[in-house]
Structures are given as structure tokens and as C-alpha cells.
Amino acid sequence: MADLKPSTSPYEVLALLTDRVASGELASFDSLKEFCSPLPESAIKNRLLKQVFKLQRQLYWGFFKGISPETFPKVWSQVVLPDRKYPFAGDLKRYMTISDIYMGMVDIHGYTRYCHKNRGNMSMLDLLDRMMQIDIPKIAATMGVVTKRSSGDQILLLGAAAEDVLEAILRIMQYFARRATNSDVAKISAAAQADRPQFQISAGIAGGQKFTPLIITRDGDLSGDIVNTASRLQSRADKISPDTNKILLSSQAFQKVNSRPASPQKLLLDGVDFFNTGTIDFKGISIGVFDTVFMNVDAYRLQYRDCMEELYESLDKGMWKSKIFEDSLNLIAKISMSIPTEAVPPAGSDAAMRDLSKNGFMERTRGCLTAFNAERYEEAIRSLNSIVADMSYFPCVDELALDYLHSICDRYSELSGIYVKSLDIEVSAHPEALMSPDELKNFKTLKRCYEMYDRVERTARERVKGKKAIWYHIADEASAKLSVVIQSKK
């Protein structure tokens, strides 16, 4: 810069600066400002710095290349260290903890299937690309939220307020359902209005933790716990609701949304409520999770929200002796009476022979509780398993509640197995006190016969000829059905 002559034109200076930026020598605004320090302060220098700074953002800011104090002021204030002398510029807060930042991750159901179906229709694939690359960023920008397409069917969103990110996701959800608001429709490409396909989404929102870092890498990419948490929540949402819209929030993000001030810009938030889904473990990391309840379709879930809260508390306290069992039955009864549909079992199945009406479920839960209180624990646990299995026949059953109930059934089945073994030990130790003389005589006879039968059968097995050939034949026949799959979970 010192070698430049007074007669050097601004265009030559601009060419030099852009060349140095493109080569990586001037990748930060601090380095650009220092390099240009010999130039006298003037309006021309100001314009040069502003122009070259745009190039720096495009080349080195990655996810944030489109932000400025004008376009995304709230995000800018959180992720950029502004320059005191030149307020239009600054450098990203790389490898720093940013507490007031929120990450959303959206996955589109049916995206791959749609692409495969239209693989020969380039106009439809181009329409989908415009939706992802042009329309979605414009819709999110109305809420001051930055977006990036991270893969074919995944979208990352980042905002400086949890309610901004949630409102943006709700608007994207409406857009994919072809119910975009007038303000959003005005911003999306006209060609996509009538022909755009309909999709459902799953999403996760995280952030708001003071000591959870958002790492902005040298190429402007994002990493850190906030990204991992958003990804895990989205995967969880996809698991419990693979075909319908589902949005999960971390407890910190929920608290921020729940304490938001009223805003006429966030009209969609008025149409949702929230459902505590308890603490969920993700590869050893426990996260408090809240589900979004869409009032127009699943407001009925709020009728048993308190029952779920009570069950979470019992689970946290490990009250397996009776309270968790009772809370589970109470939840089942509340769901069966609240759900707006009737259970529909497959025709000809065993379930079709049972009473799966709402009153039928109520009667079964009462019978199950009676058996439990009468200390018929095995019978009660079998009954609980049967009731929970039949709940899956409700067309719009709450998959989250069902997930909890299935897990509880599994734990009680384990307890039942241990309980039965303990009873058997007591029977073997004190048969005289538990049986009549005739029962005791039969018991001892049958026990001797069983032990003799088992011993003779094992001896006979050893004498079978060609055991290797039998083993090889069985292994060959079963090989097509046997597989070992190593799964890596988020």
C-alpha cells in the first residue's frame, strides 16, 4: 500500500485489495483496516472498505455471508465484533461462547421420495430447489433469522431470540403445507405459488445456555453443543412423528419463548401451546424437552398434560413400587377419553375381539389397577402391556406418550421376571408352608420327574448322530435372516 502513488486510481486500489482478499492474505476486517491505514480518511476510502468487506463476507463468513447491520441487526449484534471506527464492518466471534443465540434444525419428510418420483422431471426438481434456496431464506428473514441448506432436505436456522426461530419454523411449516401467510407469499417466487409440493417437517430448537458455545469456524461453518442439541432434538422429533409436523425445543429455548413479550409480528405463536416431554437422554447427555402443540389439530393433548407431568415426577423419584404403575394407568385413561378418535384394530386380529371403545379402555384400566392392588402383580403387568399395545390402534395417538408407556411396560416386565424368580425361591424353600399335603406330594413328584426328564433329554441330545451336519444345515437356512448392523446414534 505504501508503494501506491497519489495518482493511483480508486479502481486500482480496489483491484489490489480484492486480489489480497481472494488470496487469503486479508481474510479479516482487522487485517484489511490495518493494510489500508496509510490511506487518508475520505469518503472514497470508506466506500472501498465497504465494498471489499462485502467480498470478505462472501468468501469467509459462510453461514453469515448475507448478514449486515441492516439486514439482520439482532443476529449481527450477537455474532459480530463490530468495528468502532467503521460501524458497517467487523469480524465474526469465532470460537467464542454466545449465549443469546438459538439454533433450529428442520428436516423435510418425503423430500427424498419426491426427488426420486420426479427424477425425470427437471422443472419440478428446479422448483424444489428454488423453494429451498430462495423462498425459505426469504420467509425466515422476515423474522430476522438466517438460514442455510445443510444437505438436501435439512435446513439450519439461526436467530438471536428463541421466539424468532420458532416463528420462522412455523411459517416454513405453513409454506410447505401451502398455507403461507399473505406477507410471506409476497416474498416467495411467483412460479412456486400454485405448483409447489406439500411437505411435513420435523424440527429441533436449542440455545440460550450461557456456557454452551456456538463455534464459528474459519470457513464460517457452525459447530458446538448448540448445533448437536438442535440436531438431536430434530432426530427425536422425526422418530416420534415421522409423517407429521413435530417441533421440539430444549427447556432453555422453551423458557425464552414462554416469557416472550406480546408481538403482532409473531401471530403463529398464538396458535401453539407447549407440552413438557420430560428429560430425555441423548448418548449420555440429559436434555429437558418441550413439544409444540398445534392448537388446531392436537389441542386435546393439553387435557392430559398434568398427568404426564405427574408421571415425569414419579419417574424422576424412581417410584416403581406402585406410583409409576398408577400414574401410567391414569394417563392411559385420560388419553383414551381425550383422544378425538376411536381405536381401529385390523379386521380379523385378536385385538378386534377386545372392547377397544373408550369405555372399554376405562374398564380395562380399572381392572388392571384392581389386580395390582390385590398383589396379583404378574397379571396386572400383563394387562398393562396389553392395554398399551392396543393404544397403538388409535389413529392419532400421541407417539410421545406411547413411547413413555412402552418403556415403562418394558421395565415392569423386567421387574415381573425378577419377582417371579424370587417367588420360586420362596416356594422351593418353604413348600410345606405354602401347599396342602396333596399339593406338596404332587409338587415333589413333578419336580423329580422334571429333573429326571431334563437330565435324560440332555444325555440323549449328546448321543444324536451327525450333530455337525444338523448344525450346519440350520445355520445355512437361517443365514439369510441373520444380520449384525452397527448403528451410530446421535
Q: What is the per-residue pLDDT for 469?
A: 85
Collapsing DSSP to helix, strand or coil, 277 comes out as strand
Instruction: Name the pLDDT band for 485 (thresholds 50, 70, 90).
Output: very low
Q: What is the average per-residue pLDDT within 204-230? A: 82
**Residue at 165 is within a domain:** yes
In a domain, 285, yes or no: yes
Q: Identify which of 204, 182, 203 has the alpha carbon closest to the alpha carbon of residue 193.
A: 182
Do 359 and 350 contact (CB within 8 A), yes or no? no
Under the banding of pLDDT at 50, 70 and 90, the label for residue 58 is very high
Q: Among 259, 282, 298, give the residue marking a domain's end.
A: 298
pLDDT in tens, 381-412: 999 999 999 999 998 888 889 989 999 999 99
Residue where a domain stops, chosen among 38, 63, 92: 92
- Give the C-alpha separation, 330 to 327, whole Å: 5
Distances (CA, A) of 480 to 107, 280, 473, 484: 34, 36, 13, 12
Residue 95 φ/ψ region, left for φ over 0, alpha for ψ in the -120 to 50 degree band, beta for the rest: left
For every residue of 378-396, which 3-state class applies, written as one string?
Answer: HHHHHHHHHHHHHHCCCCC
Q: Does residue 199 sit in the same domain as residue 271?
A: yes
| Average pLDDT for 51-69 | 93
Distance CA(36)–CA(33), nearest Å, equals 5
Judge whether 76 lies within some domain: yes
Lowest mean pLDDT among 206-220, 318-332, 404-418: 206-220
Give me the domain span that covers residue 171.
102-298
Alpha-carbon span 78 to 267, nearest angstrom: 25
Q: Which helix (H) or strand (E) holds 125?
A: helix 122-130
**For residue 138, what is the domain's CATH number?**
3.30.70.1230
Q: Which string of DSSP letters, residue by residue, matches 323-352?
A: HHHHHHHHHHHHHHHHSSS---PPTTSGGG
Q: What confidence score (pLDDT) does residue 140 get?
A: 95
Residue 153: inside a domain: yes
As for how many domains the chain has, the answer is 4
Reduce the DSSP state of residue 283 to 3 states and report it.
coil
Are 236 and 116 in a shared domain? yes
Tell which residue, 406, 416, 404, has the closest CA to residue 316: 404
Q: What is the pLDDT of residue 67?
A: 93
Q: Are residues 77 and 188 in the same domain?
A: no
Q: Which of 426, 442, 461 is where one domain is finished?
A: 426
How far is the C-alpha of 291 from the C-alpha of 409, rounded, in Å?
23
Residue 483 belongs to a domain: no
Residues 380 and 346 in one domain: yes
Residue-level pLDDT at 484: 46
Is residue 4 in some structural domain? no
Residues 67 and 200 in one domain: no
Whether 142 and 26 map to the same domain: the answer is: no
- The burial of 460, by beta-carbon neighbours within 10 Å (0-12 exposed, 13-18 middle, 19 or more buried), is given as exposed
Q: Is 412 found in the same domain as 341?
A: yes
**What pLDDT score was predicted for residue 202?**
95
Query: Is pLDDT of 287 > 90?
Result: no
All three cell numbers of 29: 476486517
Q: Give me the percent of the chain exceeding a pLDDT of 70.
A: 91
Give the model's pLDDT for residue 194: 56
Residue 255 lies in a domain: yes
Residue 81 domain-assigned? Answer: yes
Q: Mean pLDDT, to the nearest integer, of 240-256?
A: 92
All residues at 6 or more sequence positions from 147 whose CB lies less than 8 Å from its CB, including other chains? 136, 137, 140, 141, 155, 156, 157, 158, 168
Q: Check whether residue 288 and residue 183 sit in a common domain.
A: yes
Residues 70 and 107 grouped into a single domain: no
Question: Would you mind telling me the total number of residues written for the chain in this entry?
Answer: 490
Say yes or no: 29 and 115 in one domain. no
In a shared domain, residues 273 and 199 = yes
Return the C-alpha cell found at 295.
Answer: 392448537
Q: Are residues 411 and 437 in the same domain?
A: no
Mean pLDDT is lowest, of 167-176, 270-279, 287-296, 476-485, for 476-485
